[in-house]
Amino acid sequence: MRYEGPIYRPPSEADSLLVQATVGCPHNKCTFCMVYKQGPKFRVRPVQEVVEDIHAAKDVYGSRVRTMFLPAGNSIAVPTEDLVHICRTARQVFPLLERITVYGSARYILDKGESGLARLAEAGLSRVHMGLESGSDEVLRRIKKGATRDEQIRAGQFLSRAGIETSAYVMLGIGGRELTREHAEETAWAVNAISPEFLRVRTFLPKINTPLLRQIEKNEFQIVSAHQALLELRTIIDQCVCRTRLTSDHYTNYIQAEGVLPEDRERLLAQVDKALSLDESAFRPVYVGSQ
Ligand code: SF4
């Protein structure tokens, strides 16, 4: 089996077989993201190589493979028929496979179209990990996410109609102090419009080699405090009326809030309020991340 570039996968795919379908990220412009800023350049791996790696994995892991993730940054961008072939092959080689997942940004999900996504669902693609980050158009523009709120919403709705689960990622603090309120309220609004199966929370932490770190150094972006990040989380929990599983499965978060909305709302709000009653010094300091 082969792998090129940084290994990057969602924490929820920690036990999944990783078979690389793409190298790098075709967008690679998000100002907060360091993963592929130093390369490698984006390319789609030849489908035959991916199929060879699936068979090679069978020799090593056999029937133990129950979940599979296809790195790298936006493997939903693989041409539809190639991705269909990869998913079908994986399902044949690993008959006990329960889940196949990829990362996918809104633009590349929309490029697939509803019919392309339906073909992928039928071939066995189960879930797309989608970086929503924010529901605010202004925040999305500033962080160069490459999609508007409406495009993000449409992408999530396309996935839902195709029968593919959406694992949506939101980033607390990514609007900075200036846009903290707008970011939280409009993110809750977008999440309600998408109604993702999973809502995964991260908290912005500056990373080396990123444009956003350079903006911070020039005082063009002010990092939110722990309390401000928690207030954003509180707003999102309070205003999300759709059914979704909230997860804080990331080291950047100030608290680990886990539950199903809406039924766990009161418990989750009480957890956030308890954290808000603590002094700021009780939380991790801001530091520059290197991974
Ligand atoms: S956050 Fe995702 S889409 Fe944006 S540059 Fe990083 S890998 Fe690419």
Q: Where are the domains of the chain?
A: 11-278
105 lines ligand 1 (CB under 6 A): yes
Ligand 1 centroid distance, CA of 278 (Å): 34
Among protein residues, the one whose CA lies closest to atom 6 of ligand 1: 33
22 lines ligand 1 (CB under 6 A): no
31 lines ligand 1 (CB under 6 A): no
Q: How confident is the model at residue 182, as a pLDDT?
A: 98
Ligand 1: residue of 7, 20, 27, 141 to mutate (most ligand atoms within 8 A of CB) is 27
Q: How confident is the model at residue 269, as a pLDDT?
A: 98
Among protein residues, the one whose CA lies closest to atom 4 of ligand 1: 30
73 lines ligand 1 (CB under 6 A): yes
- Of ligand 1's atoms, which has the minimum distance to the CA of residue 133? 1
202 lines ligand 1 (CB under 6 A): no
Judge if pTM exceeds 0.95: yes
Among protein residues, the one whose CA lies closest to atom 8 of ligand 1: 28
Can you point out the beta strands (E) in the chain? Answer: 17-18, 22-23, 43-44, 67-69, 99-103, 127-133, 165-172, 198-203, 244-247, 259-261
Each residue's pLDDT, cut to its tens digit, for the chain (291 residues) gives: 899 999 999 999 999 999 999 999 999 999 999 999 999 999 999 999 999 999 999 999 988 999 999 999 999 999 999 999 999 999 999 999 999 999 999 999 999 999 999 999 999 999 999 999 999 999 999 999 999 999 999 999 999 999 999 999 999 999 999 999 999 999 999 999 999 999 999 999 999 999 999 999 999 999 999 999 999 999 999 999 999 999 999 999 999 999 999 999 999 999 999 999 999 999 999 999 887
Contact 197, 190 (CB under 8 A): no
27 lines ligand 1 (CB under 6 A): yes
Would strands 259-261 and 244-247 be described as parallel, antiparallel, or unpaired?
antiparallel
Contact 101, 118 (CB under 8 A): no
Architecture of domain 11-278: Alpha-Beta Barrel (3.20)
- DSSP letters along 97-131, please? --EEEEE--HHHHHHHHHHHHHHHHHHT--EEEEE
Q: How confident is the model at residue 26, as a pLDDT?
A: 97
Among 200, 203, 204, residue whose Cα is nearest residue 212 = 204
Task: Give the span between the Cα atoms of 201 and 252, in whole angstroms.
Answer: 9
**% helix, strand, coil for the chain, step of 5:** 45, 15, 40
Task: Give the span between the Cα atoms of 136 and 182, in whole angstroms.
Answer: 7
Task: Give the span between the Cα atoms of 74 and 139, in whole angstroms.
Answer: 21
Residue 26: is the preceding peptide bond cis (ω within 30°)?
Answer: no
259 lines ligand 1 (CB under 6 A): no
Q: How confident is the model at residue 1, as a pLDDT?
A: 81
Q: How confident is the model at residue 78, as a pLDDT?
A: 98
Ligand 1 centroid distance, CA of 145 (Å): 8
Ligand 1 centroid distance, CA of 105 (Å): 8
10 lines ligand 1 (CB under 6 A): no
Contact 123, 161 (CB under 8 A): no
33 lines ligand 1 (CB under 6 A): yes
- Of ligand 1's atoms, which has the minimum distance to the CA of residue 73? 7
Q: How confident is the model at residue 63, as a pLDDT?
A: 84
All residues at 6 or more sequence positions from 265 whose CB lies less than 8 Å from its CB, including other chains: 237, 238
